[in-house]
Amino acid sequence: MFLPFSWILGTSHWTPFDINPFDSFFQGLVGACAISVLCNLMRVYYFIQKCSDSETETKGKPRSSSPGTDVSRDWRSTLQLWSLAVLLSLVGSRVSSLIVLEFSLRAVSAWVSAGLDANGRGLDLLLIQSQFSLGCGLSCTMFFLHQGAPHSSLSLFLAAALSWALASYSHSLWIHVARLYPLHSTERYCGKCISLLTSAHNLLASLQRVVILFFALASVASTATVYDHFLSQKDALKFWTPLTLCYTMLVVYIQEDQNRHTGPQALLHIVVLRLGAVLVLMLTVGDWSDVLHVLIAFLGEAVCLLPSQDLLQAILKEEEDTQVSRSEQSSSHRTKDNTKKASDES
């Protein structure tokens, strides 16, 4: 009955799932929960930084909450979580692997570029842009690890339950911090807020290390998946080598463009360039189901980036404050040098 449809899609199965739908959904839920944990912990970090800056500027004045913080968006966070779980479960392992390898290549390019050394926002922006790639990496890695496992459904269910518990805890931590941290950090009777007061400055660096380690592991699974599906055919390397070189040049161009421009429009422009290149690649070497999965990935990136505008504004504000402090320090050093030189001449 479904043979004509399968032939049109160029695939042997008519569903958009690589495995049965329940396992695919569990994989997508694990990836969505990982994205939720990342965003919640980043919000906690930037909120505490904003409170610290506010306390430094206005010592002795009572504080209520940080400006620009909206904690009444529980339904939006829930909607984003379930939307990402569905979208990640629909994206196949082939496209997920390419998205992971593409982001890993772009992260390495960011490390090498001079812009990352020139300012501190390089890794922070990469964390925001890595959300959907992080979900794809988890989904692809779990697909790779559970291939042929006798009790894969049970293992995926347990992984999804653990991920859900971690995401719920991180969300409750963010709600607690956003509502009560300004009070508890001064009164010092809440264990959570006291712990964050002493160790929150290392939170972002720890997140960066964990994400880098994860992408290093996910790249192994993605490379194996890409080899099995794309590079195992005869003379495949002769075809993929020029495509890889062209894509590397595009990644370098994207990194330079990101160093010149920042903002929501710039991030969306980068997403269109990235996934547009993957779409052209799938039109060349993939089948119609891969093209459909790339289009779904466009929706996933939008679901991740559009609600993250507060994080982007926090990063840009922190960069602006850092530049202002550096300019003030340099001007004070110049004033001291001029004063010292004038005293020596007199």
> Which pLDDT tens digit goes with each residue over 309-320?
888 888 877 767
pLDDT one digit per residue (tens) for the chain, 346 residues: 333 333 333 344 444 555 688 889 999 999 999 999 999 999 999 998 888 776 665 554 444 444 345 555 677 888 999 999 999 999 988 899 989 988 888 888 777 764 444 444 567 788 888 999 999 999 999 988 888 778 788 999 999 999 999 999 999 999 989 888 888 777 777 888 888 888 888 888 899 889 989 999 999 998 888 888 777 666 666 667 777 777 777 776 776 666 665 566 777 777 888 888 888 878 877 788 888 999 999 999 999 988 888 888 888 777 676 666 656 555 665 566 566 666 666 5
CB 145 within 8 A of CB 139: no
- Tokens for 291? 């093209």
Contacts of 308 (CB under 8 A, 6+ apart): 39, 128, 131
Give the per-residue SS3 of the chain. CCHHHHHHHCCCCCCCCCCCHHHHHHHHHHHHHHHHHHHHHHHHHHHHHHHHHHHHHCCCCCCCCCCCCCCCCHHHHHHHHHHHHHHHHHCCHHHHHHHHHHHHHHHHHHHHCHHHHHCCCHHHHHHHHCHHHHHHHHHHHHHHHCCCCCCHHHHHHHHHHHHHHHHHHHHHHHHHHHHHHHHHHHHCCCHHHHHHHHHHHHHHHHHHHHHHHHHHHHHHHHHHHHHHHHHCCCCHHHHHHHHHHHHHHHHHHHHHHHHHCCCHHHHHHHHHHHHHHHHHHHHHHCCHHHHHHHHHHHHHHHHHHHHHHHHHHHHHHHHHHHHHHHHHHHHHHHHHHHHHHHHHHC
Domain ranges across the chain: 18-56+65-145+159-327
Q: What is the pLDDT of residues 116-128, one digit of tens each?
A: 444 445 677 888 8
Rounded CA-CA distance 18/5 in Å is 16
